[in-house]
């Protein structure tokens, strides 16, 4: 382990700073101290999903840790060697299993051997990317970079009950830079409405609203009925397959929100990306900079450089010998470029 310690202020960027910092601490062997964790959130400090990520990271690399308790606003993490193996972690709530996965997966790509990783919790949580985003949008790009990862969604878990489960298998390997100057032509569009213990007319109305949109009238549409014990829950997933990548946009059914409004929320996300003329939508941008930095290079365009993205870039630059430039594009959006220093 490096004797150097990196200290970060966790007020900006929410849990993203914690997740990226834990990944990078494990990979680089650099000790980490985060203060003011989630300091600007209504519920500051470590929540259950953050605590699961911290303790899982401890298991994976044999770290010494201080401050690993619910509500803690500071954390010291001194990593050991990342070990491959069979791991299983439970959040114990509907906290996002996907966000825990995104903390651990980058590190396991640098482990001393293959790994399997099972995480139970929320797989479809309005405050996090859905599992479908990981499977259909993020992981295919990591595989293009050389990552050897298999993903399986074993069980859906919605808010507030949770109970979902993800299974990932990884083999360590070197990552290669990836450049995405454009998405390329749209090859297909599809819409899926997930239902668990929710009346069928909800999905029908969501898909009807989608099909009335000029971009989506020819899209394939599917109602996916899940076992009732995986609910109650509803999610609408819009998928745009392009020549260079696939984009996934999602909105969640909520009490007091009409099915038509849910569809409008997902369509609005897709419209914003299409009008921007950029290669990567905002949420995927947040998740691409870390693997590209670990690969030593990469680039893409995205509609906006969000505070989330900029905070993540600052954390990455604190750990890795890379420079991340965010510049306004010639037409619209932001151009993100990662280069070695």
Q: What averages of pLDDT result for each successive group of 10 residues across the chain (341 residues)?
A: 80 81 97 88 84 94 94 94 96 85 96 96 92 97 98 94 94 96 97 97 97 93 96 96 98 95 98 95 95 97 91 95 89 90 91
Q: Among 79, 78, 117, which residue's Cα sits nearest to residue 101? A: 117
| Parent domain of 42 | 1-80
The residues that are catalytic are 308
Same domain? 57 vs 123: no
Identify the residue whose tokens are 């454009």. 182
What does each C-alpha distance from 55 to 94, 120, 161 come to in angstroms?
A: 17, 14, 22
Specify the pLDDT at position 330.
63
Residue 164 within a domain:
yes
Of 276, 308, 328, which one is at a domain's C-terminal end? 276
Same domain? 87 vs 110: yes
For 211, counting Cβ atoms within 10 Å of its Cβ (0-12 exposed, 13-18 middle, 19+ buried), the class is middle
pTM of the model: 0.93
Residue 147 within a domain:
yes
Q: Where residue 272 sits, what CATH number does that domain have?
A: 3.30.360.20
Of 276, 291, 322, which one is at a domain's C-terminal end? 276
Same domain? 113 vs 166: yes
Residue 212: CB partners within 8 Å, gap ≥ 6? none
Q: Where residue 8 sits, what CATH number does that domain have?
A: 3.30.110.150
Residue 3 within a domain:
yes
Contact of 65 with 32, CB cutoff 8 Å: no
Specify the pLDDT at position 2.
58
Q: Where residue 119 sits, what CATH number does that domain have?
A: 3.65.10.20
Same domain? 190 vs 256: yes
For the chain, how many helices (H) and strands (E)? 9, 16
Same domain? 72 vs 125: no
Residue 314 within a domain:
no
Same domain? 88 vs 34: no
Specify the pLDDT at position 42.
76
Residue 154 within a domain:
yes
Same domain? 191 vs 266: yes
Same domain? 229 vs 254: yes
Same domain? 163 vs 86: yes
Of 221, 242, 276, which one is at a domain's C-terminal end? 276
Same domain? 202 vs 132: no
Residue 326 within a domain:
no
- The domain tally of the chain equals 3
Same domain? 241 vs 253: yes
Residue 181 within a domain:
no
Residue 72 within a domain:
yes
């Amino acid at each position: 382990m490096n004797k150097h310690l990196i200290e970060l202020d966790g007020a900006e960027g929410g849990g993203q700073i914690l997740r990226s910092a834990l990944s990078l601490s494990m990979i680089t062997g650099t000790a980490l101290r985060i203060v003011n964790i989630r300091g600007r959130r209504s519920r500051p400090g470590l929540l259950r999903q953050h605590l699961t990520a911290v303790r899982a990271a401890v298991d994976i690399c044999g770290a010494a840790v201080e401050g690993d308790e619910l509500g803690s606003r500071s954390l010291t993490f001194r990593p050991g060697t990342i070990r491959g193996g069979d791991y299983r972690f439970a959040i114990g709530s509907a906290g996002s299993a996907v966000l825990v996965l995104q903390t651990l997966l980058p590190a396991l790509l640098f482990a001393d051997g293959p790994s399997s990783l099972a995480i139970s919790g929320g797989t479809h949580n309005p405050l996090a990317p859905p599992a479908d985003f990981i499977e259909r949008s993020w992981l295919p790009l990591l595989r293009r970079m050389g990552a050897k990862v298999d993903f399986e969604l074993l069980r859906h878990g919605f808010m507030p009950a949770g109970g979902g489960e993800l299974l990932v298998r990884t083999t360590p390997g070197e990552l290669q830079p990836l450049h995405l100057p454009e998405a390329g032509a749209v090859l297909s569009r599809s819409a899926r409405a997930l239902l668990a213990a929710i009346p069928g007319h909800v999905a029908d109305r969501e898909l009807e609203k989608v099909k009335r949109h000029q971009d989506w009238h020819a899209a394939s549409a599917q109602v996916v009925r899940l076992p009732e014990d995986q609910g109650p829950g509803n999610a609408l997933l819009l998928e745009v397959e392009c020549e260079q990548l696939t984009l996934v946009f999602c909105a969640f059914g909520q009490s007091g929100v009409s099915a038509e409004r849910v569809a409008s929320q997902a369509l609005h996300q897709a419209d914003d990306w299409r009008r921007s003329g950029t290669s990567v939508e905002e949420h995927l941008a947040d998740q691409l900079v870390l693997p590209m930095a670990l690969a030593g290079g990469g680039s893409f365009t995205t509609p906006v450089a969000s505070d989330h993205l900029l905070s993540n870039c600052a954390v990455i630059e604190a750990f890795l010998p890379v420079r991340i430039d965010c510049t306004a594009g010639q037409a619209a959006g932001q151009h993100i470029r990662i280069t070695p220093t």
